[in-house]
Structure 1
Amino acid sequence: MKTLILTNRIPFPPNSGYPIVVYNTMKGLLKLGVEITLFSINPNKYKVDVEDIYDPLFEQIKFHSFNLDTEVNVYGALLNIFSNQSYNVSRYFDEDAAKLLGDILKENEFDIIQFEGLFVVPYLDVVKENSKAKVIYRAHNIEFDVWERIALTEKFTPRRSYLQFLARRLKVYETEQINRFHQVFAISEQDRQSILRFGCETALEVFPVALDFEKYVTDPSKTSFPTLFHLGAMDWRPNKEGLEWFLDEIWPDIEKLNSELRFYIAGKNMQKQFFEYDSENLVVEGEVFDAVEFINSKAIMIVPLLSGSGMRVKIIEGMAMRKCIIATSMAAEGIRCENGKDILIADTADEFYRAILQCITNPKKWREIGENARKTVERDHDVRIIAERMLNIYQKLLTV
């Protein structure tokens, strides 16, 4: 079976949510004998030098990429207001990229073409004009929902109004496109329900984040305690806003609990403001070379998200590493977990305080939650099981 996967960034190295999801999808399918061609937009924001990719999986696929400047600019945003297009999405379309994709489609015959996320959907017309393959849309999240929630937290009225405008445009685009595919994959049951509510009439299945558990090996002897940690890309607005809230409203009281307690924050594109917080017990590390090693070295994971959609890959990774995770309901959305058993849910400053106090005064409790967390992700997120399910869907589509 020949499959073409379209992505809005190069998923090498798999060091954050979107690349991890795409990378593990390819890894699982390759092991089942699927031939994969990858076509990636290579935006300036996440630009990857293809010559620097050293990964065994990369050698197993056929690869094409197109460099594209997708940065927001005032002139482009202003012009877009007078169009009927979503500015969030239209920035990812380029005529030369479309021509390159069209040439690939003319030279190759594919059985399945999978669109990973909304930002490559503008290339759907090119695909339909040049291929008879079955087309699949994988919703990594509900994009307009993300922007609606971000707008709700914005206090500056003009900016909030513009964010609401972007969300409305995104919603129109997302709902119009969803039924142009032969199959839709949602990343969580909550997202599946949302997609149904806005009018999805095509086949719809849930395919959560998949992990290869051979990568997630814990070594308790290297875990320092008492430690809290947060790991996430700081150029993603929900991560930045959630961490700001935690540091401003919760951390000042938490650090008084124990003079030895340390809170480590890590992630790429760490904003300058986080290095300037006045706290001796806060350690800002920026981007870490090995996320798994970093997670292993710390005890309790803090995920204070106040907005967002989809499924938090870093929570899944933390659970795989047997970590006790204290997260908001929003952050845990989409994960089949149970408060007090394999995760701790905290939505207010007081709930975070009590959950953290419980963990640092009763180490047995957080270790127990961590062990249960590992069992949960092994049940729901095994890359082999998920890849087999995905291949079964492919095969059914080809018989229709």
Structure 2
Amino acid sequence: MKILILTNRVPFPPNSGYPIVVYNTIKGLLQLGLEITLFSINTNKHRVDVDDIYDPVFDSIKFHSFSLDTEVNVWGALFNVFSNQSYNVSRYFDDEAAKLLEDILRENEFDIIQFEGLFVVPYLDIVKANSKAKVVYRAHNIEFDVWERIARTEKFTPRRMYLQFLARRLKVYETEQMNRFHQVFAISEQDRQSILRFGCETALEVFPVALDFKKYVTDPSKTSFPTLFHLGAMDWRPNKEGLEWFLDEIWPDIEKLSSELRFYIAGKNMPREFFEYDSENLVVEGEIFDAIEFINSKAIMIVPLLSGSGMRVKIIEGMAMSKCIIATSMAAEGIKCEHGKDILIANTADEFYRSILQCITNPKKWREIGENARKTVERDHDFFSISKRMLNIYQKLVSA
């Protein structure tokens, strides 16, 4: 079976949420004997030098990419207001990229063409005009929901109104496009329910984040305690806003609990204000080379997310590394976890304080939660079993 996968960024190396999801999908399908072709938009924001990719998964696929500047442009945003297009999405379409994709489709016959996220959907017309393959859409997030939630937290009125405008236009586009596919994959049950509510009539299945657990090996001897940590890209606004809230409203009281307690924060595009934060117990590392090693070396993961959609891959990775995770309900959305068993849910400053206090005064508690977390993700997120289920759906689509 021949599969073409379209992505809005190059998923190599798999060092953040979207690339991890796509990478593990490709890896699992390759192990099942499928022939994979990958077409990626290589954006300036997430630029990857393809010549520097050294990965057996990459060597096992046919790869095509198109370099594109998708950065927000003031004039582009202004002119877009007077069009009927979603500016969030239209920035990812380019006529030359479409021509390259058209050539790939004319030279190859595919059984399945899978669109990884909304930002490659502008190329759906090209695909339908040049291929008889079944088309599949994977919703990594409910994109308009992300922007609606961001708009609700924006205090500056003109910016809030513009964000609401973007969210409305994105919602129209997202809901219209969903029914143009033969199959839709949601990342979580919550997202599946949301997709159904806004009128999806296409076949719909849930495929959560998948992990290869051979990569997630813990070494407790290298874990320092008492330590808290947060890991996430700071160019994603919900991550930045959640961490700001935690540092302003919660951390000043937390660091008084113990002079030995340290809070480590890491992630790419770390804002300058975090480095300048007035706290001797706060360690800002910025972008790190090895996320797994970083997670292993710390004890308790803090995820104070206040907005967003989809499934937080870093939480799944933290659970795979047997970490006790203290997160908001928003952050844990979509993950089949149970408060007090394999995660601790905290939605207020007081709840975060009490959860952290409980963990640092009772080390047995956070270790027990971490061990349960590992069992939970092994049950729900094994990439090989998820890949086999995906292949079954492909086979049904092709034979229909």
* Amino acid aligned to 1:229: F
Gaps of 5+ in 1: none
* Amino acid aligned to 1:92: Y
Structure 1 residue 96: Cα displacement: 0.3
Structure 1 residue 256: Cα displacement: 0.2
Residue correspondence of structure 1 range 97-246 to structure 2 within 5 A: 97-246=97-246
* Amino acid aligned to 2:340: G
In 2, the alpha carbon distance for the partners of 1:366 and 1:74 equals 47
Residue correspondence of structure 1 range 219-298 to structure 2 within 5 A: 219-298=219-298
Indicate yes or no: 2:333 matched with 1:316.
Answer: no
* Amino acid aligned to 1:341: K
Residue correspondence of structure 1 range 35-54 to structure 2 within 5 A: 35-54=35-54
Structure 1 residue 201: Cα displacement: 0.2
Residue 374 of structure 2 is matched in structure 1 by: 374
1:56-100 alpha-carbon deviations (Å, 9 max, x no partner): 110000000000000001100000000000000000000000000
Residue 392 of structure 1 is matched in structure 2 by: 392
Indicate yes or no: 2:341 matched with 1:334.
Answer: no
Structure 1 residue 52: Cα displacement: 0.6
Q: Give the length in aligned residue pairs.
A: 400
1:241-271 alpha-carbon deviations (Å, 9 max, x no partner): 0000000000000000000000000001111
Residue 72 of structure 1 is matched in structure 2 by: 72
* Amino acid aligned to 2:259: S
In 2, the alpha carbon distance for the partners of 1:316 and 1:296 equals 14
Q: SS of 1:332's equivalent?
A: coil
Q: SS of 2:331's equivalent?
A: helix
In 1, the alpha carbon distance for the partners of 2:271 and 2:133 equals 43
In 1, the alpha carbon distance for the partners of 2:152 and 2:248 equals 19
Structure 1 residue 316: Cα displacement: 0.0
In 1, the alpha carbon distance for the partners of 2:284 and 2:191 equals 33
Residue 59 of structure 1 is matched in structure 2 by: 59
* Amino acid aligned to 1:194: S
Structure 1 residue 144: Cα displacement: 0.1
Q: SS of 1:45's equivalent?
A: coil
Taking every aligned residue pair, what percent have the same amino acid on both sides?
88
In 2, the alpha carbon distance for the partners of 1:11 and 1:119 equals 14
* Amino acid aligned to 2:66: F
1:257-297 alpha-carbon deviations (Å, 9 max, x no partner): 00000000000111111101000000000011000000000
* Amino acid aligned to 2:106: K
In 2, the alpha carbon distance for the partners of 1:73 and 1:257 equals 46
1:284-337 alpha-carbon deviations (Å, 9 max, x no partner): 000110000000000000000000000000000000000000000000000000
Structure 1 residue 136: Cα displacement: 0.1
In 1, the alpha carbon distance for the partners of 2:187 and 2:210 equals 10
* Amino acid aligned to 1:63: F
What TM-score does the superposition give when structure 1 sets the normalisation length?
A: 1.00
Q: SS of 1:180's equivalent?
A: coil
Structure 1 residue 192: Cα displacement: 0.1
In 2, the alpha carbon distance for the partners of 1:361 and 1:174 equals 47
In 2, the alpha carbon distance for the partners of 1:98 and 1:39 equals 11
1:36-64 alpha-carbon deviations (Å, 9 max, x no partner): 00000000000000001011110000000
Indicate yes or no: 2:326 matched with 1:307.
Answer: no
* Amino acid aligned to 1:14: P
What TM-score does the superposition give when structure 2 sets the normalisation length?
A: 1.00
Structure 1 residue 224: Cα displacement: 0.0
* Amino acid aligned to 1:119: F
Structure 1 residue 187: Cα displacement: 0.1
* Amino acid aligned to 1:74: V
1:115-169 alpha-carbon deviations (Å, 9 max, x no partner): 0000000000000000000000000010000000000000000000000000000
* Amino acid aligned to 1:159: R
Residue 22 of structure 1 is matched in structure 2 by: 22
Deviates more, 1:267-276 or 1:116-125: 267-276
